[in-house]
Amino acid sequence: MLINFWYALARSEELSDQPLKVRALNHDFVLFRDSKGTAHCLANTCVHRNGSLSAGQVQNDCIQCPYHGWRYSGDGLCQLIPTLPDDSDIPDNARVDAYPVEERYGLIFAFLGDLPEAERPPILEAPEWDAEGWTTLTMEYHWGAHYERVMENGFDATHAEFSHADASATAGNFQRGKETKYTLTEASGEWDGGYTIDSPALSLVQGYVGPVQGWAHMNFMMGKERGDFRFYYYVTPVNESICRRYLLHARNFMPGKRMDSELTETNWKFEQEDRDLLEAMRPIVPPRDHGHDLLQPEEQAMAQYRRSLRRWEKNGWRIDADALEQLGMERTCVIPCPARRNGGRWILPETPRLHRN
């Protein structure tokens, strides 16, 4: 799991006036809305005596710890320590990590890391969301699989014929053999990669932006109609073996509720078929170097994705899962937030990472 990327932590509708606890990257976070409705994301552990902030309440645009009532604003700074006399200052280190938040496409994204704004990777854009002529659906899936397996499955075009064999709606679109051409897309920046497939019945372009965001543009026959489908998905690792997947699904044909429910049902079926397969794969974490599986030419996008992961890991962004596990019951740690780059003393240590200089 990598820090320094945007993660979809919840659906907008899940966050009301009550705080919401979410787990991602094997750490706890609290989400809350201020009186303007703006969403905030903080590390969930109160630095006073380690209370769980998400069990508290929102008061005066702050999250109030349920234990002794310390209040933290959306920037993570403590604004009130009830036991302090009125004329005394709140200590500088009375603060928790606060993460940048963006609310888009009905999802609440938080940037879980400490990069300054100009260096942050982008949130994958879904331009068809709310756009004229497009119908969109959002689905949320929970998988007992490693997020990288889920991502790789997203750009695995050849499994459909076998794992979704009885999908009558899409039958005949995926054809093997000479008629199908796979081309790796040149990555346009340091965050992305992808590939195209051209075959008589199907044209597909797909790729990834960062470790947990993927997309696919398809043009194919559905029953008697041909049309465009656009998928955008945002995967959130809960820990090394569980993840959530938010799928935005857009189409420019066959609008209407009946088609919505048909497509929802088809997507559920696909997702469940994939989930059963992925949850049984071993090792749980896909191989990161060559020689532990046998990728084929049409799987170059996976190799490209793995190269990207290795590059990001070398930046010191990969959480050291074993070291984190070993913290055991006596210690805790947090994902560092951007304000840590300004120095000062922080009460809780940063999460252990690989290749950290």
Residues that bind Fe ion (CB under 5 A): 274
Three-state DSSP class for 313?
helix
Give min distance, CB of 348 to ligand FES, in A. 12
Beta carbons within 10 angstroms of residue 267's beta carbon: 16
68 binds ligand FES (CB under 6 A): yes
15 binds ligand FES (CB under 6 A): no
76 binds ligand FES (CB under 6 A): no
The binder of 288, among Fe ion, ligand FES, none, by C-beta within 5 to 8 A per type, is none
174 binds ligand FES (CB under 6 A): no
Q: Which lies closer to Fe ion via its Cβ, residue 109 or residue 141?
A: 141
Q: What are phi and psi of 243, to 5 degrees?
A: -150, 165
Report how far residue 207's alpha carbon sits from residue 213's, in angstroms, rounded to the nearest whole number: 9
Name the residue number minimizing CB distance to Fe ion: 274
67 binds ligand FES (CB under 6 A): yes
46 binds ligand FES (CB under 6 A): yes
Q: What are phi and psi of 342, to 5 degrees?
A: -85, 0
Contact in structure between 45 and 28 (CB atoms under 8 Å): yes
Q: Which lies closer to Fe ion via its Cβ, residue 128 or residue 274?
A: 274
Consecutive H or E run containing 305 = helix 300-312
99 alpha carbon, distance to own chain's centre = 15
Given 22, 24, 65, 309, the residue binding ligand FES (CB under 6 A): 65
91 binds ligand FES (CB under 6 A): no
51 binds ligand FES (CB under 6 A): yes
Q: Which lies closer to ligand FES via its Cβ, residue 70 or residue 233?
A: 70
Give min distance, CB of 101 to ligand FES, in A. 22
70 binds ligand FES (CB under 6 A): yes
Give min distance, CB of 73 to ligand FES, in A. 15
Task: Please identify which residue in the block is written with the tokens 């300004």.
Answer: 342
The binder of 46, among Fe ion, ligand FES, none, by C-beta within 5 to 8 A per type, is ligand FES
219-248 burial: b if 16+ Cβ within 10 Å, else e: ebebeeeeebbbbbbbbbbbbbebbbbbbb
The binder of 65, among ligand FES, Fe ion, none, by C-beta within 5 to 8 A per type, is ligand FES
Task: Please identify which residue in the block is written with the tokens 């690792």.
Answer: 237
Q: What are phi and psi of 130, to 5 degrees?
A: 65, 15
Contact in structure between 61 and 34 (CB atoms under 8 Å): yes
Residue type for position 25: L
Using the contact rule CB under 6 A, the part of the chain among 29-37, 49-57, 160-168, 239-247 near ligand FES is: 49-57
Give min distance, CB of 67 to ligand FES, in A. 4
Given 49, 159, 226, 307, the residue binding ligand FES (CB under 6 A): 49
DSSP 277: H
Q: Which lies closer to ligand FES via its Cβ, residue 53 or residue 157?
A: 53
Q: Which two tokens stand for residue 223?
A: 């029953």
The binder of 274, among Fe ion, ligand FES, none, by C-beta within 5 to 8 A per type, is Fe ion
Could you tell me which of 189, 60, 53 has the C-alpha nearest to residue 119? 189
Using the contact rule CB under 6 A, the part of the chain among 68-76, 184-192, 202-210, 337-345 near ligand FES is: 68-76
Contact in structure between 135 and 35 (CB atoms under 8 Å): no
What Å distances lie between residue 177 and 92, 181, 216, 221, 300, CA to CA? 65, 9, 22, 19, 17
Per rule CB under 6 A, count of chain residues that contact ligand FES: 10
Which residues of the chain form contacts with ligand FES (CB under 6 A)? 46, 48-51, 65, 67-70
